[in-house]
Structure 1
Amino acid sequence: MKVESPLLDASQTAARLPYPALVAEIVRLLDDNSVKVPERLVQPLAGGGSLFVMPAMDSQVAITKLITFTPANAGTPRATIQGDVVVFDIASGARRLVLHGPTVTARRTAAVSLLAAQRLAPSPRGPLLIIGAGVQGLAHLEAFAEGLGVPEVVIASRSANSAQALAAHAQTLGLRARVTQDANAALADCPLVVTCTPASGVVLTALPRADVFVSAVGAFTPTMVELGVGLCQHMAQSGRVFVDTADALHEAGDLLQAELDVARFPTLADVVRSDLIRPTGPVLFKSCGWAGWDLAAARTALRALVKN
Structure 2
Amino acid sequence: MTDVRILGDDDVADLLSLPALLSEIERGFLKQGRDEVERPPRPHFPVGADTPGTALTMPAYVHGDPTYATKLASVHDANADRGLPTVNAQIAVTDAETGLPRAYLHGTRVTNARTGCIGGLAARELANEGPVRLGVLGAGAQARWQTRAVAAATDLDRVRVYSPSDSREACAADLRERLPGVDVTAVDSPAEAVSGSTVVVTATTATEPVFDGDDLSPGTLVVAVGAYTAETRELDARTFERAARVFADVPEEVAEVGDVLEAGLDAADFVPLSEVFEGRAGRESDDDILVVESVGSAVLDAVTAGWLVERAEAEGAGDTVEL
Give the count of matched residue pairs. 303
- Structure with bigger RCO (C-alpha 8 Å, 6+ apart): 2
- Following superposition, the deviation at residue 3 of structure 1 comes to 7.8
Query: Residue 69 of structure 1 aligns with which residue?
Result: 75
Identity %: 30
Query: Residue 116 of structure 1 aligns with which residue?
Result: 122
Runs of 5+ consecutive residues of structure 1 not aligned to the other structure: none
Quick one: distance in 2 between partners of 1:229 and 1:282?
14
**Residue pair 1:14, 1:107 contacting (<8 A) in 2 also:** no
Is residue 233 of structure 1 aligned with residue 241 of structure 2?
A: yes
Is residue 214 of structure 1 aligned with residue 222 of structure 2?
A: yes
Is residue 179 of structure 1 aligned with residue 186 of structure 2?
A: yes
Q: Which amino acid aligns with 1:297?
A: T
- Matched position secondary structure for 1:151: strand
- Matched position secondary structure for 2:27: helix
Query: Residue 8 of structure 1 aligns with which residue?
Result: 7
Query: Residue 54 of structure 2 aligns with which residue?
Result: 50
- What CA RMSD, in Å, does the superposition of the two structures yield over aligned residues? 2.0
Query: Residue 300 of structure 1 aligns with which residue?
Result: 307
> Which of residues 191, 202, 221 in structure 1 aligns to 2:198?
191
Quick one: distance in 2 between partners of 1:233 and 1:275?
23
Q: Label 1:54 to 1:240 Cα distance change in 2 as closer, same or farther (>3 A).
A: same
Query: Residue 137 of structure 1 aligns with which residue?
Result: 143
TM-score, scaled relative to structure 1: 0.91
Query: Residue 37 of structure 1 aligns with which residue?
Result: 39
Runs of 5+ consecutive residues of structure 2 not aligned to the other structure: 316-323
Q: Which amino acid aligns with 2:235?
A: L
Q: Label 1:206 to 1:246 Cα distance change in 2 as closer, same or farther (>3 A).
A: closer
TM-score, scaled relative to structure 2: 0.87
Q: Which amino acid aligns with 1:218?
A: G
Query: Residue 320 of structure 2 aligns with which residue?
Result: none
Residues 17-41 of structure 1 show CA distances to partners (whole Å, capped at 9, x for unaligned) of 3222222112222333541100011
- Matched position secondary structure for 1:158: coil
Quick one: distance in 1 between partners of 2:60 and 2:259?
26
Q: Label 1:249 to 1:152 Cα distance change in 2 as closer, same or farther (>3 A).
A: closer
> Which of residues 257, 262, 268 in structure 2 aligns to 1:263?
268
Q: Label 1:215 to 1:277 Cα distance change in 2 as closer, same or farther (>3 A).
A: closer
Q: Label 1:163 to 1:28 Cα distance change in 2 as closer, same or farther (>3 A).
A: same
